[in-house]
Amino acid sequence: MKLSFTYLAGLVTGRRAYVVILSSLLAHSTFAQQGSTGNTYIFGGAQMTFFGNHDFANGGAGALPGIIGTERTGTPGILNFAPSASHNGGADAAHVDGFVRKYGTTLFVFPVGDNGFYGPFAAQGDGTTGAYYHADASTAITSNLAGGDYPILPAGGPYPTSSFEEALTSVSPVEYWDIDGDNATPITLTWDAASDVTTLTTGQLDKLTIAGWNGTQWLAIPSVVDATSILGGASDLTAGSITTQSPVIPSTYTIYTLAYRDVPLPVTLASFDALREGNAVALKWATTEEMNAARFEVERSLNGKSWDKIGDVAARGESTVRVEYSFVDIQPAEGENLYRLKMIDLDGTFAYSRVRNVRVDGSTPELSVYPNPVTDKLHVKESRTVKEVTMFNTKGLKVYHSKGLGGGAIDVTSLPTGIYAVHITRNGGITSVQKILVNR
């Protein structure tokens, strides 16, 4: 497997970097993989690219055994991973001390670290670039591999961990990540014993969240602790990972870190599903607890960046039992449709659900209702097999519901002119959705 060097990099000897041949990188063509024992430095403005699987190894000798360093100031040095590239062996003693960029849209764990601490993060947006800092964001100063300390990084800091929105209680004084990119992606941060999540969250892992610096303060980014860490094993107070509930454009925030959120969310979302039914998309979700919940805003996106509100559903408000909700998007776009819920409290506090995606290919299923358009009576084929009929307007609101269909038809004379979705469930559980036009 070949290595590609866009510019020169160098071998670190002592605590100064000289442009020399990259003898510390080993290409193993027999096994179609690459390996390094560190002692490698990528200068400012330089880039180096891996195309296959890369093994990080601690060679045990040299000034930077196991470490591939990159310049962090100005135009940084960058280690690129091609779309098909991967790696293994990342650890405190073997990682990239500096910036890594990943091309392609597959989920990738960035093997970054700092000062002998491994701090990987994960993303899947094409061209996402990032570095890890094992330093207090309030000072934002870390050591330079060539000796001494870097200036405040990234530029524009420091980033006081005491300045945060009301939804947060505290922000990590241990570490932060500089993550950039223009393509929306879920972002996953990791922690280990050195992160001291126990102290940060007072031992309450469910209160952990990701926070981002917006230029003036830290903001809570709705996040979920991963049951299984992206690094393997169950997430606990000692080690694990946490992922944003929705895709984020990395450059939205200057830096990211872990934080403690002690403000209760308006609802506990037990499930959220989106399914294509005919040429419509049915959204169904359930809560197991609600406290001061006001409503759910249903949002749709075609690119994961810009979101449009397509409907509102009132919340129960106060509940400690399971409550089920539904909404039908009767006019989805052809192609990929992304959906999320904005769960809003009475005081305006909100959180987002995870994103669900449904593809609509534009094909038209066999009609099961007629006539269309309809003026008074809407007939349903094989009405004796109908278990349940529900109709929704273009706002996703339920306007008709019936258990069974004894008369074989639906009276629509009371409905205003417009487009409606007819949701039909047959005996046996088969469901279909048809768009109809009520016209007079």
Q: Between the CA of residue 299 and those of 51, 82, 291, 306, 337, what are the distances in Å?
A: 38, 33, 22, 10, 10
pLDDT tens-digit series, residues 60-101: 677 889 999 999 999 999 999 999 999 999 999 999 999 999
Is pLDDT of 127 > 90? Answer: yes
CATH superfamily of domain region 267-360: Immunoglobulins (2.60.40.10)
pLDDT single digits (tens) 23-53: 334 333 333 446 778 889 999 999 999 999 9
- pLDDT at residue 335 tops 90: no
Which residue type, as a one-letter code, is found at position 119? G
409-411 and 377-380: which strand pairing? antiparallel
Residue 407: pLDDT band by 50, 70, 90 thresholds? confident
User: What average pLDDT does the segment 394-414 reach?
Assistant: 86
**What's the token pair of residue 187?**
């972002």
The pLDDT assigned to 11 comes to: 40
- In this predicted structure, the answer to whether residue 15 has a pLDDT above a threshold of 50 is no
pLDDT at 394: 84
Stretch 191-216: mean pLDDT, rounded?
95
How high does pLDDT run on average in the chain?
A: 86
Name which of 82-86, 271-275, 292-296, 427-431 the model is least confident about: 427-431
Residue range 369-438 forms a domain whose CATH class is mainly beta
Q: What is the pTM for the complete model shown?
A: 0.62
Q: How confident is the model at residue 430 (pLDDT cuts 50, 70, 90)?
A: low
Q: Give the number of other Cβ atoms within 10 Å of residue 244's Cβ.
A: 23
| All CATH 2.60.40.10 domain ranges in the chain, comma separated | 267-360
pLDDT band at 300 (very low <50, low <70, confident <90, very high): very high
Q: Place 22 in a pLDDT band, splitting at 50, 70 and 90.
A: very low
Q: Which helix (H) or strand (E) holds 200?
A: helix 197-200
SS3 call for 187: coil
Please list the helix, strand and coil fractions of the chain in percent, rounded to the nearest 5, in that order.
Answer: 5, 50, 45
What is the β-pairing status of strands 40-42 and 67-70?
parallel
- Least confident stretch, 58-67, 116-125, 128-137: 58-67
Q: What is the pLDDT of residue 33?
A: 46
> For every residue of 197-261, which 3-state class applies, written as one string?
HHHHCCCCHHHEEEEEECCCCEEEECEEECCECCCCCECCCCCEEEEECCCECHHHCCCEEEEEC
